[in-house]
Amino acid sequence: MKLAYWMYAGPAHIGTLRVASSFKNVHAIMHAPLGDDYFNVMRSMLERERDFTPVTASIVDRHVLARGSQEKVVENITRKDKEESPDLILLTPTCTSSILQEDLQNFVNRASLESHCDVLLADVNHYRVNELQAADRTLEQVVRFYIEKSKKQNNLDLKKTKKPSANILGIFTLGFHNQHDCRELKRLLTDLGIEINEIIPEGGSVENLKNLTKAWFNIVPYREVGLMTAKFLEKDFNIPYIKTIPMGLVDTGNFILEIEKIFKNYNYFTNFDFKSYIDKQTRFISQAAWFSRSIDCQNLTGKKVVVFGDSTHAASITKILSREMGVRVSCCGTYCKNDSDWFREQVQNFCDEILITDDHTQVGNMITRIEPAAIFGTQMERHIGKRLDIPCGVISAPVHIQNFPLGYRPFLGYEGTNQIADLIYNSFTLGMEDHLLEIFGGHDTKEVITKSLSNDSNLNWTLEALSELNKIPGFVRGKIKRNTEKFARENSIYQITVEVMYAAKEAIGT
């Protein structure tokens, strides 16, 4: 058992449902108790979805517990088949109902005999994988199923498209700025003279999955979802894929160069000059390169920041901060524990330390210890930042409704670099303003706050010491307080007087 208040990645079935409901005309049925269909609320509220979320629950109640689901699941599948005539129905248990160990595969087999649509059971272990891993797995499962199916029907088209084309794998519902990223990628590919073959799962149709093999190569914009599918297509059909994430100027450039390489491997020669395209975009179209050169950005030099998020965004943002803006990343971390090797390799030379954990208290303590000038993280880090008075830019899921902006906010490609530069810069200026206010005695009515996330303090501050502490400018007050307490604890002092404060100052040298 684990005492938990918050989690970064949701349970496995959420990943499966995200993939299923991203496809057009696919319906998911959850084998779950009442109230587990919370996914519908998330999709309807966060994405402000206009259509009914194609997810229903086959309710597990007392009767099911006593007698088993029997006909219920099969009836629910065939009923949905009649009502909505989807192309595919995907059945998934939740953590809870997977313990029942009912033979869901058997239900699926029976239901697929009676219904017009295809029926699949999401093949996911609910206790071993999280939302993102499950989404990756489910996407691959669906793709594999339809490619096998069309192999059997002998209508799998292995001929490549005439013009170079690419599939984009892993754009899906409730993804962090996925819709905008997708539009930006399309724009980039159009610039390079590449056609989009298929985009899955978002807006894709399962009937079109057999066309995947016509593409020249695959693009996996996010580490977390789509990689398994890309690997499958590479292994079985020899379709190369690009796993460089086109986020930030350097990596977007690398991404384009990889495309050039793929063209060469296909012996396809165009008179398009990739290098000068990258150069023009980097220096003149995107503002980010100029921006980091401008004197404004000089102020950011050596500022300490902390980055935390999914592996894609945390790694890319770390590289942008350190390589493209000259900001010092004190710690960079991810909650994607399953992909930690890749993550370490990516960020190794761009940060002081690496934290891989899915425990938000560890992240909170790390931030408290480092006291960065800004945080780039998820909604959780935003709230940690609020409590510590440190500005935070949100760069990764898990997210709120405010991270589903209506305006165009990609993170990928050249427009993405502009957006990221704005996000980073704005986080810092806000922080600077705040400090200036404090220095010039703005509205300093704040009480001394502990600024530590644990409440295990058993130290006593005398009145004089407290009033001395209040004289210290607000923005370093927390640090002095913590250092003093640390000193006191180390020396087993429980009563903090003015003397102790100065002794601590001398000992630590702050």
Partner 1 sequence: MNKKNSEKLTFECETGNYHTFCPISCVAWLYQKIEDSFFLVIGTKTCGYFLQNALGVMIFAEPRYAMAELEESDISAQLNDYKELKRLCLQIKKDRNPSVIVWIGTCTTEIIKMDLEGMAPRLESEINIPIVVARANGLDYAFTQGEDTVLSAMAHRCPGKMIKKNDFEQNKKSENLFVQTFFEFTKKSLKFTPENSFKKDKNPDFLYKNHSNLVLFGSLPTTIATQLTLELKKQGIKVNGWLPSQRYDELPFLGENVYVCGVNPFLSRTATTLMRRRKCKLIGAPFPIGPDGTRAWIEKICSVFNILPKGLEDRENTIWKSLEDYLFLVRGKSVFFMGDNLLEISLARFLIRCGMIVYEIGIPYMDKRFQAAELSLLEKTCVFMNVPIPRIVEKPDNYNQIQRIRELKPDLAITGMAHANPLEARGINTKWSVEFTFAQIHGFTNARDILELVTRPLRRNKNLQELGWTDLVKEKI
- Known binding-site positions: 36, 431-432
- Give 365-368 contacts, CB < 8 A, sequence gap 24+: 365/453, 365/454, 366/306, 366/331, 366/333, 367/306, 368/451, 368/452, 368/453
Q: In this chain, which of 25, 44, 208, 254 binds partner 1, going by CB under 8 A?
A: 44
Contact with partner 1 (CB under 8 A) among 68, 70, 71, 83: 83
Q: Of 16, 21, 22, 40, which one interacts with partner 1 (CB under 8 A)? A: 40
Which residues from 107-166 bind partner 1, rule CB under 8 A? 126-128, 130
**Closer to partner 1 by Cβ: residue 189 or 366:** 366
Minimum distance from residue 41 beta carbon to partner 1 (Å): 4
Three-state SS for 118? Answer: strand
81 lines the binding site for partner 1 (CB under 8 A): no
Q: Reply yes or no: is the peptide bond before residue 201 cis, omega within 30 of 0.
A: yes
* Closer to partner 1 by Cβ: residue 9 or 315: 9
Q: What CA–CA distance (Å, rounded) separates 372 from 355?
A: 15
Let me know if 181 is a catalytic residue.
no
Regarding 38 and contact with partner 1 (CB under 8 A), the answer is yes
Alpha carbons 154 and 205: distance in angstroms, whole number? 19
Tell me how many residues contact partner 1 (CB under 8 A): 55
Residues in the chain: 510
Of residues 449 through 508, those in contact with partner 1 by CB under 8 A are 455-456
Give min distance, CB of 17 to partner 1, in A. 12
Instruction: By CB under 8 A, tell whether 54 contacts partner 1.
Output: no
Q: In whole angstroms, what is the distance from residue 156 CA to residue 97 CA?
A: 37
User: Binding site for substrate, residues?
Assistant: 431-432
Q: Does 268 bind partner 1 (CB under 8 A)?
A: no
Give the range of 31-39, 249-257, 307-315, 483-491 binding partner 1 by CB under 8 A: 31-39
d(Cα 166, Cα 186) in Å, to the nearest integer? 10
Measured distance CA(370)–CA(362) in Å, rounded: 12
Does residue 235 bind partner 1 (CB under 8 A)? no
Q: Which stretches of 67-164 are assigned E, i.e. beta strand?
A: 88-93, 118-121
Nearest approach in angstroms of CB 25 to partner 1 is 12
Residue 4 interacts with partner 1 (CB under 8 A)? yes
Integer Cα distance of 484 and 486 in angstroms = 5
Judged by beta carbon, residue 82 or residue 275, the one nearer partner 1 is 82
CA atoms of 208 and 183, how far apart (whole Å): 20
Helix (H, G, I), strand (E, B) or coil at 354: strand
Is residue 391 within 8 Å of 431, Cβ to Cβ? yes
Q: How far is the CB of 459 from partner 1 (least distance, A)?
A: 17
Gap between the Cα atoms of 467 and 486, Å rounded: 19
Binding to partner 1 by residue 295, rule CB under 8 A? no
Q: Does residue 406 belong to the site contacting partner 1 (CB under 8 A)?
A: no
The beta-carbon contacts of 501-506 under 8 Å, at least 24 apart in sequence, are: 501/465, 501/468, 501/469, 505/480
Residues 56-75 that bind partner 1 (CB under 8 A): 56-62, 65
* Sites of contact with partner 1 (CB under 8 A): 1-7, 10-11, 13-14, 32-38, 40-42, 44-45, 48-53, 56-62, 65, 76, 83, 94-97, 99-100, 126-128, 130, 380, 383, 386, 400, 455-456
Residues identified as active-site: 296
